[in-house]
C-alpha cells in the first residue's frame, strides 16, 4: 500500500520503520527539508554534534555498543567531506552505519554549486555501498536497502546522497518488507563438509590456538556465547585481536590476552608455535601477523570469515569457511558434540605447560614508581575501580589505546569501542558520546591521550548539551606517545614534531565546557581521584599526568616475527633512552 | 633496532611470483557509477587493467557486461575476483581464461596516410588481413579490422611502415567457449 509523501517525510518514515531511535547529525542548507521534517515528529531523536566527523564516530560508538545500525545526517559539501574519515573508519572496522547526506538540487549537480561536492564519487571507496537518489520514487527502497546492506553480511557504512529537490518532491513510500535486493546476497551459512573437516582438524590438534576477531562481536552476542562454549569444551587456549576483545572473558584461565604488535608474549608465541590455528572472524591484519614469511610457519590454518575476499588475502589458509561466525560456531558445536572426539590430552598438557612458561615471562610487567604515575598503573587502577560497574570503554589512538587493550580486561562483547583498522585519533570522545546516548545509565569512559583528545575536543559541548556524563581519562604525557616511541626506536630518537609544547589546561577546558575537571599527578592520589571521576554525575575530564617517556611493551618490532618480541620488563625511562642505538633490547 | 631508518611498521613486500594474464567477465547492473566502482577498485587496490570494454548487453534487465583483461600473480587474480564480487551491483564474475577458455576479439580503426607505392601496398596487405576500407581519399585509408589482439598488433606493426597515423581500438570483447552461458 503505497503512501504519498515528500522525500523528507520518506526519509523520516523510513528511519522510524527501520527502528531507528536516534541519529547523529549537523544541519545545513541541503538538508533543511529533512531537518524541518525531523522537527515535526517525535519518533527519531537527533543528537546535534559539533562537527560532522564527530557524528560518524558517535554513530559508530552507538552501533558498536548496541549492535544496531548507527545513523548520521549531514549536509552537502563540507558536511559530507567531514564525514569521510568516520566512514572510512567504519569500513575498516566493519561497523554498520547509514549516513544520509544532503546534495545540491539535481539540476545544479555538476555546476560547482555552493556547497556542492561529488559525494558519491568521494565516498565510493570508503563505503560498503552508496547511492545518489535521482527519483523520489526510489527513495524509500534505497533507504531500506541501505539499512539492509549496512547491517548484514560484513557490516559497513552506506551513504545515501539526497538532492534537495528530491527532499521536496512528492513520491510513493513503501515499507521495509518485500524489499529484495537484485544482487546483494551475503552468504551466512557455511558449507557442512568444511565444518566437519574443521572439527576433525581442531579435535586432532596437539598445539591448538583460537585466534578470534571483530567478526565474532559483529555477529552478535550469540556468537560470543557459542565461542565460549566451544573453547571451554575443547580446553584450548584463545587469543583475540584488538577488535575482538570481550568476545571471550579476559578473566578465564584459557585466555592468553590480546595478540599482535603489542599483544602478550604468550599469545604471540602460541600463534607462532601452534600446529592448528582456528581463526574465527579475524583478517590477518598486518598488526597481527608481523613478518609474513615467518608467521606461524608450522600450523594448519582454519579461517572463518563472512567476507570471501578475506580468504587468502594476506595469509594462505588450509581450510577456509565462509559464513557468519554464529552460524559457523553453532554448526561446529553440533558436530563436535555429536562426535565427542577423543582429544590428545597428553599433548595438550605439554602445550599448556609451554604456554604457562611463556606466561611466566610476565610480558605486561612494567616498573612502577612511587612518585610518578605510570600509564599502565593508571589503567590498572581504572580497571580495578570500574570492573564491577556497567562500563563501556572507548579509546583514541596511540600508546594509551594499546595500554588500555592490555590492562583493561573485558568480560563481555560490545564493551570496547576502538578504532582498529584506520587508527583514527579523535575517535574516542564522540564514540563515547554515542555509547552514552545508547546506555544513559552506564559508565562510559574514553581512555585518551593528550594529543588525540584535541582532535575532536569540540564534542565536549555535545556531551554538555545532552547531559551525557561521559568520562575522558587522559593519559597526559605531553607527547604523541606512539610517534615518539617509534622515533626513539627507529629514527635515532630525533623527536620530530611529536612534542606538544602548548597543551591546554585540561581542567580549565573542562570548566569552560561545563564539565568537571580533575587533575592527578601522584600515584598516591590516583584512587581517590578516579573514584571522584566515577561518582561524578556530570561529564568529567581527568588530566592524568603520567610518566612522559614510558614506552608500550611488549612489542613485535618492525619486520620481525611473533617469536622475536621485545619485552619491556624493568625498563625505565632512562634505560629506554640509554638503549637508543644499541642493537635491540631483550630480543627473545 | 636502533639506527635503521628504512624500517617501518609495515611488513615487507612478498617475494615475486609469476605474473599471469586473465580475462574476466563481470556482469553488473547497468546503474550510474557502476563502472566507476569497478575501475576504482582496480586503481584503489593497485591492480592492473590491460584492456577494458563495457556496454549494456541485456537491455530489459539493465545488465552490462564488463570485460577486463588483467594481470597479476595467481593470488592477486583470486583477490581481484573476490573483491569484484563484493561490490553490491555485481551479479557475477567469471575468469574466462581459467574456465574452459574464451574467444577474444577486438575491433580497430586504423588510419593510414600516404601516396604512391606505399598506399597500394597498404591496401594489398589490408586485404590479406581482411581489413575493410571504411573511409578514403586520395591521400588516406581508414581500415576496419577485427580479430585477436595479436592480429591487430601485427597489422599495426606492418602499417607502421606504410604511413600509419592514428589508431582507435575498442578493447577486447570475450565470451566463453561451449554452449554454457555465463
Query: Does residue A412 have a pLDDT over 70?
Result: yes
- Which range, of A39-48, A110-119, A305-314, A561-570, averages the lowest pLDDT? A561-570
Query: Does residue A578 have a pLDDT over 80?
Result: no
Query: Does residue A365 have a pLDDT over 90?
Result: yes
Instruction: Give the SS3 label for residue A287.
Output: helix
- Does the domain made of A375-552 have the CATH classification 3.40.50.1820? no
Edge to edge, what strands does the sheet with A255-258 contain? A255-258, A238-240, A208-212, A276-280, A300-305, A319-322
What HEC string does A149-183 produce? HHHCCCCCEEEEEEEHHHHHCEEEECCCCCCCCCC
Q: What percentage of chain B exceeds 90 in pLDDT?
A: 85
**Which of 230-269 (A) contact B at CB < 8 A?**
261
- In angstroms, the CA A60 to CA A427 distance is 9
CATH class of this structure's domain B102-176: alpha beta
What residues does each domain of chain B span? 20-95, 102-176
Q: Of A129, A311, A489, which has the smallest distance from its Cβ to B1's Cβ?
A: A489
Backbone φ and ψ for A260, nearest 5 degrees, come out as 105, -165
- In angstroms, the CA A145 to CA A179 distance is 7
Confirm if A446 and A473 have CB atoms less than 8 A apart. yes
Kindly state whether A110 is in contact with chain B, defined as any CB-CB distance less than 8 angstroms.
no
- In angstroms, the CA A86 to CA A308 distance is 24
State the pLDDT confidence band at B15, using cuts at 50, 70 and 90. Answer: low
Q: Using one digit for the tens of pLDDT, what is the confidence trace for A417-453?
A: 999 999 999 999 999 999 999 999 999 999 999 999 9
CATH class of this structure's domain A192-359: alpha beta
Mean pLDDT of B162-182: 93
Residue written as grid cell 558434540? A337
- In angstroms, the CA A529 to CA B119 distance is 93
Which residues, at least 6 apart from B37, have a Cβ–Cβ distance to it below 8 Å? A124, B87, B89
Query: Does residue A155 have a pLDDT over 90?
Result: yes
Backbone φ and ψ for B23, nearest 5 degrees, come out as -105, 120
pLDDT value at position A288? 92
Question: Pairing mode, if any, of strands B20-29 and B90-95?
Answer: antiparallel
State the pLDDT confidence band at A584, using cuts at 50, 70 and 90. Answer: very low
Query: Does residue A577 have a pLDDT over 70?
Result: no
- Topology of domain A3-173, per CATH? Rossmann fold (3.40.50)
Query: Does residue B3 have a pLDDT over 80?
Result: no
Q: Of B2, B5, B7, which has the smallest distance from its Cβ to A583's Cβ?
A: B2
User: Residue A230 is inside which H or E element, if any?
Assistant: helix A221-234
- Does the domain made of B20-95 have the CATH classification 3.30.70.260? yes
Query: Are B29 and A128 inside 8 Å of each other by CB?
Result: no
pLDDT value at position A145? 97
One fold for B20-95 and B102-176: yes
Q: Using one digit for the tens of pLDDT, what is the confidence trace for A246-260?
A: 999 999 999 999 999
Residue written as grid cell 515499507? A175
Confirm if B122 and B141 have CB atoms less than 8 A apart. yes
pLDDT value at position B101? 85
User: Residue A148 is inside which H or E element, if any?
Assistant: helix A136-151
- In angstroms, the CA A241 to CA A258 distance is 6
State the pLDDT confidence band at A581, using cuts at 50, 70 and 90. Answer: very low
Compute the nearest-CA separation of A130 from chain B (Å).
9
Q: Using one digit for the tens of pLDDT, what is the confidence trace for A381-392?
A: 999 999 999 999
pLDDT value at position B6? 60
Give 3-state DSSP helix, strand, coil % of chain A, rounded to 5: 45, 20, 40
- In angstroms, the CA B131 to CA B125 distance is 9
Query: Are B5 and A492 inside 8 Å of each other by CB?
Result: yes
- In angstroms, the CA A244 to CA A325 distance is 12
- In angstroms, the CA A34 to CA A464 distance is 25
Query: Are A558 and B9 inside 8 Å of each other by CB?
Result: yes
pLDDT value at position A582? 43
Query: Are A261 and B9 inside 8 Å of each other by CB?
Result: yes
Backbone dihedral region of A566: left (phi > 0), alpha (psi from -120 to 50 degrees) or beta?
A: beta
Compute the nearest-CA separation of B10 from chain A (Å).
7
List chain A residues with CB under 8 Å of B12.
291-292, 559
Q: What percentage of chain A exceeds 70 in pLDDT?
A: 96
Mean pLDDT of A159-169: 98
User: What's the mean pLDDT when you consider all of chain A?
Assistant: 95
Confirm if A83 and A99 have CB atoms less than 8 A apart. yes
DSSP assignment letter at B181: -
- In angstroms, the CA B120 to CA B99 distance is 44
Interface test with A, best of B5, B88, B89, B92 (most A CBs within 10 A): B88
Which residues, at least 6 apart from A512, have a Cβ–Cβ distance to it below 8 Å? none
- In angstroms, the CA A142 to CA B1 distance is 53
Q: Using one digit for the tens of pLDDT, what is the confidence trace for B54-110?
A: 999 999 999 999 999 999 999 999 999 999 999 999 999 999 998 888 999 999 999
Q: Using one digit for the tens of pLDDT, what is the confidence trace for A16-32?
A: 999 999 999 999 999 99
Q: Give me the interface pTM, i.e. the ipTM.
A: 0.89
Instruction: Give the SS3 label for residue B133.
Output: strand
Confirm if A125 and A184 have CB atoms less than 8 A apart. no
Query: Does residue A554 have a pLDDT over 60?
Result: yes
- In angstroms, the CA A244 to CA A255 distance is 13
Q: Using one digit for the tens of pLDDT, what is the confidence trace for A241-300?
A: 999 999 999 999 999 999 999 999 999 999 999 999 999 999 999 999 988 999 999 999
- In angstroms, the CA A454 to CA A398 distance is 13
Confirm if A197 and A278 have CB atoms less than 8 A apart. no
Q: What is the secondary structure of B63-74 as a DSSP string?
A: EEEEEEEEEE-H
List chain A residues with CB under 8 Å of B37.
124
Grid cell of A226 as nine digits: 557459542
Q: Using one digit for the tens of pLDDT, what is the confidence trace for A82-105?
A: 999 999 999 999 999 999 999 999
Residues of B near A (CB-CB distance < 8 A)? 1-5, 7-12, 14-15, 29, 32-33, 36-37, 40-41, 44, 75, 78-79, 82-83, 85-86, 88-91
Task: Please give the positions of A annotated as active site.
Answer: 52, 114-115, 164, 482
Q: What is the secondary structure of A9-20 as a DSSP string?
A: HHHHHHHHHTT-
Compute the nearest-CA separation of B91 from chain A (Å).
5
Domain with CATH 3.40.50.970 in chain A: 3-173, 375-552
Grid cell of A491 as nine digits: 629514527
Mean pLDDT of A143-159: 98
State the pLDDT confidence band at B181, using cuts at 50, 70 and 90. Answer: confident
Q: What is the secondary structure of A417-441 as a DSSP string?
A: E---SS--TT-HHHHHHHHHHH-TT
Sign for the pseudo-dihedral over CA of A525, A527, A530, A532: negative
pTM attached to this predicted model:
0.94
For residue A129, what is the nearest residue in chain B, using CA coordinates? B88
Q: What percentage of chain A exceeds 90 in pLDDT?
A: 92
Amino acid at each position: 500500500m503505497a503512501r504519498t509523501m515528500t522525500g523528507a517525510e520518506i526519509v523520516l518514515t523510513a528511519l522510524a520503520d527501520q527502528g531507528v531511535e536516534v541519529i547523529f547529525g549537523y544541519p545545513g542548507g541541503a538538508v533543511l527539508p529533512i531537518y524541518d521534517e525531523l522537527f515535526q515528529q517525535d519518533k527519531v531523536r537527533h543528537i546535534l554534534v559539533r562537527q560532522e566527523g564527530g557524528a560518524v564516530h558517535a554513530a559508530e560508538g552507538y552501533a558498536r555498543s548496541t549492535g544496531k545500525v548507527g545513523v548520521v545526517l549531514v549536509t552537502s559539501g563540507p558536511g559530507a567531506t567531514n564525514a569521510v574519515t568516520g566512514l572510512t573508519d567504519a569500513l575498516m572496522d566493519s561497523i554498520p552505519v547509514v549516513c544520509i547526506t544532503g546534495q545540491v538540487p539535481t539540476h545544479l549537480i555538476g555546476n560547482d554549486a555552493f556547497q556542492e561536492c561529488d559525494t558519491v564519487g568521494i565516498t565510493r571507496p570508503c563505503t560498503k555501498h552508496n547511492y545518489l537518489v535521482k527519483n523520489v520514487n526510489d527513495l524509500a527502497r534505497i533507504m531500506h536497502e541501505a539499512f539492509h546492506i549496512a547491517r548484514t553480511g560484513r557490516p559497513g557504512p552506506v551513504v545515501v546522497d539526497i538532492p534537495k529537490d528530491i527532499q521536496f518532491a512528492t513520491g510513493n513510500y513503501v515499507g521495509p518488507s518485500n524489499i529484495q535486493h537484485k544482487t546483494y546476497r551475503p552468504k551466512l551459512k557455511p558449507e557442512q563438509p568444511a565444518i566437519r573437516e574443521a572439527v576433525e582438524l581442531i579435535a586432532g590438534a596437539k598445539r591448538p590456538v583460537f585466534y578470534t576477531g571483530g567478526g565474532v562481536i559483529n555477529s552478535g552476542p550469540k556468537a560470543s556465547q557459542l565461542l565460549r562454549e566451544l573453547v571451554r569444551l575443547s580446553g584450548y587456549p584463545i587469543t583475540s585481536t584488538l577488535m575482538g576483545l570481550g568476545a571471550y572473558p579476559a578473566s578465564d584461565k584459557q585466555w592468553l590476552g590480546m595478540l599482535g604488535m603489542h599483544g602478550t608474549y604468550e599469545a604471540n608465541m602460541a600463534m607462532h608455535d601452534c600446529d592448528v590455528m582456528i581463526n574465527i572472524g579475524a583478517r590477518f591484519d598486518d598488526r597481527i601477523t608481523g613478518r609474513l614469511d615467518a608467521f606461524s610457519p608450522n600450523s594448519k590454518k582454519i579461517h572463518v570469515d563472512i567476507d570471501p575476499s578475506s580468504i587468502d588475502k594476506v595469509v594462505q589458509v588450509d581450510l577456509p569457511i565462509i559464513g557468519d561466525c554464529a552460524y559457523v560456531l553453532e554448526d561446529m558445536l553440533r558436530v563436535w558434540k555429536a562426535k565427542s572426539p577423543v582429544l590428545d590430552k597428553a599433548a595438550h598438557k605439554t602445550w599448556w605447560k609451554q604456554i604457562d612458561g611463556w606466561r611466566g615471562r610476565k610480558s605486561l610487567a612494567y616498573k612502577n614508581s612511587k612518585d610518578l604515575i605510570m600509564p599502565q598503573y593508571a589503567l590498572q587502577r581504572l580497571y580495578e575501580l570500574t570492573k564491577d560497574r556497567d562500563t563501556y570503554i572507548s579509546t583514541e589512538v596511540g600508546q594509551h589505546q594499546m595500554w588500555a587493550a592490555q590492562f583493561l580486561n573485558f568480560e563481555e562483547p560490545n564493551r570496547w569501542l576502538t578504532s582498529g583498522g584506520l587508527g583514527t585519533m579523535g575517535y574516542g570522545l564522540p564514540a563515547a558520546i554515542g555509547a552514552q546516548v545508547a546506555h544513559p545509565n552506564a559508565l562510559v569512559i574514553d581512555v585518551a591521550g593528550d594529543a588525540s583528545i584535541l582532535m575532536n575536543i569540540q564534542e565536549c559541548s555535545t556531551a554538555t548539551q545532552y547531559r551525557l556524563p561521559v568520562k575522558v581519562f587522559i593519559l597526559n604525557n605531553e607527547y604523541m606517545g606512539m610517534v615518539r616511541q617509534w622515533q626513539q626506536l627507529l629514527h635515532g630518537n630525533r623527536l620530530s614534531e611529536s612534542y606538544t609544547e602548548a597543551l591546554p589546561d585540561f581542567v580549565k577546558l573542562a570548566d569552560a565546557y561545563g564539565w568537571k575537571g580533575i587533575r592527578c599527578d601522584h600515584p598516591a592520589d590516583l584512587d581517590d581521584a578516579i573514584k571522584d571521576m566515577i561518582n561524578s554525575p556530570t561529564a568529567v575530564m581527568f588530566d592524568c599526568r603520567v610518566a612522559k617517556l614510558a614506552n608500550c611493551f611488549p612489542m613485535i618490532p618492525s619486520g620481525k616475527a611473533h617469536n622475536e618480541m621485545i619485552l619491556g620488563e624493568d625498563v625505565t625511562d632512562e634505560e629506554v633512552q640509554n638503549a637508543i642505538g644499541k642493537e635491540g633490547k631483550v630480543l627473545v | 633496532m636502533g639506527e635503521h631508518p628504512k624500517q617501518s611498521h609495515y611488513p615487507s613486500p612478498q617475494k615475486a611470483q609469476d605474473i599471469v594474464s586473465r580475462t574476466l567477465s563481470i556482469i553488473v547492473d547497468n546503474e550510474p557509477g557502476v563502472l566507476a566502482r569497478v575501475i576504482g577498485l582496480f586503481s584503489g587496490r593497485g591492480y592492473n587493467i590491460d584492456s577494458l570494454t563495457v556496454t549494456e548487453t541485456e537491455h530489459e534487465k539493465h545488465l552490462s557486461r564488463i570485460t577486463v583483461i588483467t594481470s597479476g600473480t595467481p593470488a592477486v587474480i583470486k583477490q581481484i575476483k573476490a573483491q569484484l564480487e563484493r561490490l553490491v551491483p555485481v551479479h557475477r564474475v567469471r575468469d574466462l581464461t581459467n574456465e574452459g577458455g574464451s574467444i577474444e576479439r577486438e575491433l580497430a580503426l586504423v588510419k593510414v596516410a600516404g601516396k604512391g607505392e606505399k598506399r597500394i601496398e597498404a591496401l594489398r596487405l589490408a586485404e590479406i588481413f581482411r581489413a575493410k576500407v571504411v573511409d578514403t581519399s586520395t591521400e588516406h585509408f581508414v581500415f576496419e579490422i577485427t580479430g585477436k589482439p595479436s592480429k591487430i598488433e601485427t597489422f599495426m606493426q606492418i602499417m607502421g611502415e606504410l604511413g600509419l597515423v592514428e589508431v582507435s581500438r575498442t578493447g577486447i570483447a570475450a565470451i566463453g567457449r561451449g554452449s554454457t552461458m555465463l
